[in-house]
Structures are given as structure tokens and as C-alpha cells.
Amino acid sequence: MLARKALAGTAGAPKEYVEDVFSTYLYTGSGATKTITNDIDLSGEGGMVWIKARSTTYIHCLYDTERGALNTLTSNTTDASISESGSLTAFNADGFTLGSFSQVNHSSSPTYVAWTFRQAKKFFDVVTYTGNGSAPRNISHNLDSSPGFIIIKRTNSTGDWWCWHRSTTTANANLYLNYTDAADSGANPMISAVSSTNFTLATNQNATMNINGATYVAYLFAHDAGGFGDAGSDSIIKCGSYTIPNGPLNVNLGWEPQFLLIKRTDATADWYIMDNMRGFTVADNPVTLIPNSSDAEGGLAKYRITNTGFGGAFDSGDSGTFVYIAIRRGPMKTPTTGTSVFSPTVYTGTNADNRLINTTIAPDMVMIRQRNDTVVPGLYVGARLTGQEFMITGSTDAGATDANSFDAQIVSTTEYGNAFSSMSGVWVGNDATRKFNANTTSNNHVIEAFKRAPGFFDVVCYTGTGANRTVSHNLSVAPELIIVKRRDTTGDWIVYPNNSSESLILNSTSQYGAGYWNATSPTSSVFTVGTSSSVNASGSTYVAYLFASLSGISKVGSYTGNGSSQTINCGFTAGARFVLIKRYDGTTDWFVYDTARGIVSGNDPQLKPNSTDAEATGYDAVDPDNSGFIVNQDATNFPINTNTATYIYLAIA
């Protein structure tokens, strides 16, 4: 086995985060050698890669560093491991390399997903052993905590994928990853005991999991063991169970998941995998893959992600008992560069369907505008959490979807996934209706792409209660700017401007109103909303965008105008690439600037999130400065520096 790093949180040990040990990576097959860079150290630390074609009926392919590259196992069959020269050819310090094996990299350009599990204490381990025909038998591991889920597969001959889950131990129930069967009755348990150092093969397993001379691999998943984050005490994986009630399901993990594997245990049912890269959202129909089947992606009605776990709107006909593995959403690290979390991009429309707009990052929220448009009021806004849904910043309209908006990817005439199912951008449609004109032929557009990260930006979806309440978030610091929009019906865009007794309205020039935040300042874990229907009507759905100041990355601040010109020092070193400004003590427009369109010493292209106005280019309202930006005064057209007036701003480096 490979040597392991010292446990995070112990003296002298490096800190580890979920993004160091787990990745969901989307790619398109090419038939040529392909290197997947996901920043997971497999060559040094070891681990497992699980690959499945999304758009076609190829097998599930599993590879691990203990058995070595090229050796393929298939979760939807009982087949032995096969050596395939063109499969996964190398485990790298920052990912892995693929050859031309059609199941993982076909030349016809199917789309794939690769889930990478790095070996790490309190998260995941890979163990190989040779059967000795003498059980009970202890098999040692390096998980440094009792496993919550174990998968065992014979590798030198056919055999089932035997599964043990901590939630079925009371009945000694067995599961099989390659079958739809319900859990066994428990008469013949596979594993009789687990500990932080080993697991025990039960006495009756000599003819299955301990055949003399047979070779096996075991994949071990931890449960709620801590070990991660800045303090080394945060859990990133949980293995639990739930029973669907006659009503809403709410499984509270304490954090938002990015990956979920589930199996019904009391009746015949498939296994399902969901993840937030392919379309695990707040909607009720996540994109799924089935480990026991070669089927392409499909849907699973009623499951949805929440900011503290997952759930769904079930009824009595959906009853059943399930087990799950959930992995926490990342990143957990505080970003160190603005380019890793924000990207402004300009592009020319083509009117093509299913066009990927490259933003260089995998965005969690985007704002898009046709720059010369005078019909749409403001910018289109969409988020990974809300999938195909879009809203418009200058409109009170509810969230909407249509076939020509944020678009799903199409391969071989089949639509699947969602608009955010890309490692480097977002999919838009062909703009046949002007309801969402983000790809109009020959016209110029701009997209502002934001990535969620601690201390910088978060997205939260919640359901209103009608009573004063708190809403959990994952920003890790108290937000200084919050934008809330009602999704299910009309409502204003309510803005928290770092003052719990006041607010602004993004779709209006209005100065402010009161009562939205229950006169309570947000904290590093929650923000508070009052009883206003704009932020908390009973049963209504909302999305909130949260920003904070992060040294060298972002700044939420205010300034007082001087009537001429002044430098706004944000603590940056290479200037602001994005600026949002609004007068706080008067009735004026909102203004957006970015370096993709131009923050220069001369005239600067300017957009108004609250207005149908096209981009204006004939005014020198802002200038660049390494510390942040410079505001100039144009009292008639772009009053962002009126003498004695007070302004708030969001700037991103």
C-alpha cells in the first residue's frame, strides 16, 4: 500500500479539504490519449476512479491504485478484472490519464463522468487481499475510523459486488451493488465486525469473500469521522439511512452534499448516483446513473438537494427504507486568487442550440446580457442549484424555463444534464423567442461567472415559512451583501446592504425599505429573514446570493462621493475586474462594470441591472487602479460620485 499523509488536524499535519480527496469530473470522449486534471493526487496517495458514459449505454469502469492502472472492474456485471491497454493508463499527481478504450474514451464523442476517491484517513481506503479459506478473518485498513460502507469484489474470477452498510447491521443484512435485490434477511452476514483498524469477514464467507487463493479488492468509506477543514474536525462523508415519510423528506447532513449514492433496502430497486455537476439541484428530478446498469443518464423524480442535506416531496405511495453515502460539497479552502472564482467573458451570438459559453471556471452562478438589447430589463441570472431556471434582475417575474434559455447538453439528439454540466462554462440555447436572448446571431453578449467558495460567495435556496426565521448558509463568514429573489411567483429582488434594518431593491432605483431582515445581522452560519412575502412567504421558494469581503479577492464596501474623482481602495494588487455600484441614500440606477468589456482610463461600457437600457459606452465613469478602481462623476448619466452622496459597491479582483 502507498504511504498515507499524517491525519489532518494532528500536530504538524497539513490541512486537508474535500476538494483534495474527491472530484466529479465531466469530459467528452475523443479516442485519443486524454489527461484528466482534477487536482487529486492519486500517484502519491492512492485511490479509486469510477467512470461511466453519460450519453450512451457503456459499462461502469472502476480502477484503483492497489490493483494498478489498466485493470478494469465493472459494477454492473459479475466479471473478473480485465486488463485493457487503452483504459485508465496512469494515475497522476493531479488526476489520471486515459487511453482509447471505448468504454472510457470513445472517438464518437460521448460524454462521461469520472468520480475520483482519494485514499485519506477518515474518508476512503482501498484494500486488496488474498483469500485463505479460513474465516472469521480480520482484514486491516488505514481508514483510521470505523467504516460506514464497504464494497468487496473478487478480482481474479466472476463474483458479486458484496456491500455492507452500517445502517443494516442490526439485521446483518447484505446488499449487492450489481443487483436490484432488497437487503438479505440477515441469516448469513458478510461482515461480522468493523473497527478503526480492520473489518472481519464472517465465518460463513469462505465460499464467497474468502476463497482460498482468490484475490479481492475492498473499497471502504468512512462515516462522520471529522478530520478535514481548517480545524481538522469537519466531516465530509456520511453513511446513513432514511425512511420516506408520507410527506416531505428532509435528511439533515449538516452540510450541502455534492454526491449521493442511494439504495432501497426493503424492496427491489436500483442503486442511484446523483451529483451536483450533472444535475443534482433544488428541482425534483435529478440526473442519475445506475451502478447496477449500463443505462445512460436518466431521472429520479422527487429527490432534491438542500443547503443542509437532501430531501423531496414524497407521499404514501413512495414509502420505503433506504441507505446512502453522501459527500460534502466543496470547495472548503478559502480561495487565493480572484481568477479561480470569478470570470467575465464577452462573446458573439451564433443563434446555435446547445452552445457552451466558456467561462474558464465551473460556475455556480452566471449573469448574462445581450449588450445592445433594449427589451430585457437587466441581466439573466441562473445558478447550478436551480438548473435550467432563469430570472431577470430588472423584472419581478418568477423563475422560468424554456427550451431556448439555459440549455441542457444534447448528444445524438438526446437532451440530458443541465446548463451547468460543464467543467468550464454554461450551456445556452438558440434564442428563438427573445425571452432569453443570450445567443442572438452576431450580437455582442457578456457573461459574469461566479464560483462558490468560503469567504467569497455562496448560493442558498430555501422555502419560506411566513414567520421570522434563520436560513443556513455555507459562506463560513458573515455575508455583507445578500440578494434574495422569490422564485415561484413575482417579487422584488431584495438586497441586504450590510445593514440589518435597511434594504435596497435590485430591480428598482428605490432607495431602501425596512423589515426584510428582522433587524438581525447575519452570522457565519445563518442569515435572518422577516415575514415579508418578498423574502419569506409561507411555502414559497427563494434563492439567495451571498457575498463577503475576502482579502485580495473581493470587497463589499461603501464610500462618500466627492463630486470629482476618487480612488476606492479595495486592498487589491492588480485592480478590480468587476464592480457593482448603487447609491445608498438616493434614487439612482445600479451600475455594472467589468474588465472583459473594459475598465479603462477612457470611456467604459456600462450596464444597468435594473433597466432595459442597452450598454452605454460614451462615458468615463470608472478608471482602473491597482488597489481597486477609480470613480469619476457624471452627474447626469452615471452619478456614481455625487458630492456627499453615499454608495455601496461590490468589487472582485
Look at the alpha carbons of 264, 269, 270, 276 in this order and tell me if their dihedral is positive or negative: negative
Residue 432's pLDDT band (boundaries 50, 70, 90)? low
**CA distance readout (Å), 102 to 76, 155, 562:** 17, 21, 65
Quote the strand ranges of 386-486, DSSP E.
391-392, 409-411, 414-416, 425-428, 444-450, 457-463, 469-472, 481-486
Evaluate the omega torsion of the peptide bond into residue 136 and state whether it is cis, within 30 degrees of 0.
yes
User: How far, in Å, CA of 535 to CA of 543, rounded?
Assistant: 9
Closest CA to 510 of 611, 585, 430, 568: 585
User: How far, in Å, CA of 276 to CA of 387, rounded?
Assistant: 10
Q: Which grid coordinates are listed for 514?
A: 425596512
Quote the pLDDT of residue 403. 67
Average pLDDT, the chain: 92
Largest pairwise CA distance in the chain: 87
Task: Give the residue with greater pLDDT, 171 vs 582.
Answer: 582
Is the distance from CB of 622 to CB of 629 less than 8 angstroms? yes
Task: Give the residue with greater pLDDT, 120 vs 168.
Answer: 120
CB burial of 424-454 (b: ≥16 within 10 Å; e: otherwise) equals ebbbbbbbeeebbbbbbeebbbbbbbbbbbb
Task: Give the residue with greater pLDDT, 92 vs 415.
Answer: 92
Is the distance from CB of 54 to CB of 35 less than 8 angstroms? no
CA 225 from chain centre, in angstroms, equals 22
Quote the pLDDT of residue 477. 98
pLDDT at 247 over 90: no
CA angle centred on 471, ends 468 and 472, rounded to 5°: 150
3-state secondary structure of 536: helix
pLDDT at 589 over 50: yes
Residues whose CB falls within 8 Å of the CB of residue 127, separated by 6 or more in sequence, listed in order = 1, 66, 139, 140, 141, 217, 218, 220
Least confident of 36-50, 59-73, 145-159, 278-292: 278-292
Quote the pLDDT of residue 9. 44
Is the distance from CB of 394 to CB of 372 less than 8 angstroms? no
Quote the pLDDT of residue 226. 97
Amino acid at 355: R
User: How far, in Å, CA of 300 to CA of 304, rounded?
Assistant: 10
Quote the pLDDT of residue 436. 77
Beta-strand relationship, 198-201 and 215-222: unpaired
pLDDT at 323 over 70: yes
Quote the pLDDT of residue 511. 76
DSSP letter assigned to residue 443: -
User: How far, in Å, CA of 371 to CA of 489, rounded?
Assistant: 27
Quote the pLDDT of residue 513. 74
pLDDT at 431 over 90: no
What mean pLDDT do residues 633-652 have? Answer: 88
Quote the pLDDT of residue 413. 47
Least confident of 209-218, 298-307, 610-619: 298-307
Is the distance from CB of 486 to CB of 463 less than 8 angstroms? no
CB burial of 81-118 (b: ≥16 within 10 Å; e: otherwise) equals beebebbbbebbeebbebbbbbbbbbeeebbbbbbbbb
Residue pointed to by grid coordinates 469510477: 50
What are φ and ψ of residue 205, in 5° steps?
Answer: -100, 15
Residues whose CB falls within 8 Å of the CB of residue 288, separated by 6 or more in sequence, listed in order = 272, 273, 274, 297, 298, 299, 300
Q: What is the pLDDT of residues 602-620, one digit of tens each?
A: 999 999 999 999 999 988 9
Quote the strand ranges of 2-67, DSSP E.
22-28, 34-37, 47-53, 61-64
Q: What is the pLDDT of residues 355-389, one digit of tens each?
A: 899 999 999 999 999 999 898 899 999 999 999 89
Residue 491's pLDDT band (boundaries 50, 70, 90)? very high
pLDDT at 633 over 90: no
Beta-strand relationship, 161-165 and 175-176: antiparallel
Residue 185's pLDDT band (boundaries 50, 70, 90)? low
Residue 336's pLDDT band (boundaries 50, 70, 90)? very high
User: What SS3 string covers 64-87?
Assistant: ECCCCCCEEECCCCCCCCEECCCC
Task: Tell me what percent of the residues of the chain surpass a pLDDT of 90.
Answer: 80
Expressed in angstroms, the distance from the first to the final Cα of the chain is 43
User: How far, in Å, CA of 189 to CA of 436, rounded?
Assistant: 56
3-state secondary structure of 103: helix
Give me the numbers of helices (H) and strands (E) for the chain, helices first please. 4, 49
Q: What is the pLDDT of residues 403-427, one digit of tens each?
A: 677 876 655 445 556 889 999 999 9
The full set of domain ranges for the chain reads 21-118, 124-222, 237-328, 357-448, 457-547, 554-652
Quote the pLDDT of residue 437. 79
3-state secondary structure of 38: coil
Residue count of the chain, please give it. 653
Residue 171's pLDDT band (boundaries 50, 70, 90)? low
What is the signed CA dihedral for 238, 240, 243, 244, rounded to 10 degrees? Answer: 20
Residue 301's pLDDT band (boundaries 50, 70, 90)? confident
Q: What is the pLDDT of residues 497-546, one digit of tens each?
A: 998 888 999 999 987 777 899 999 999 999 999 999 999 999 999 999 99
> In sequence order, what are the beta bridge partners of 413?
none
Task: Tell me what percent of the residues of the chain surpass a pLDDT of 70.
Answer: 94
Which pTM was predicted?
0.95
User: How far, in Å, CA of 444 to CA of 151, rounded?
Assistant: 52
Residues whose CB falls within 8 Å of the CB of residue 418, separated by 6 or more in sequence, listed in order = 278, 279, 281, 287, 384, 387, 388, 406, 408, 427
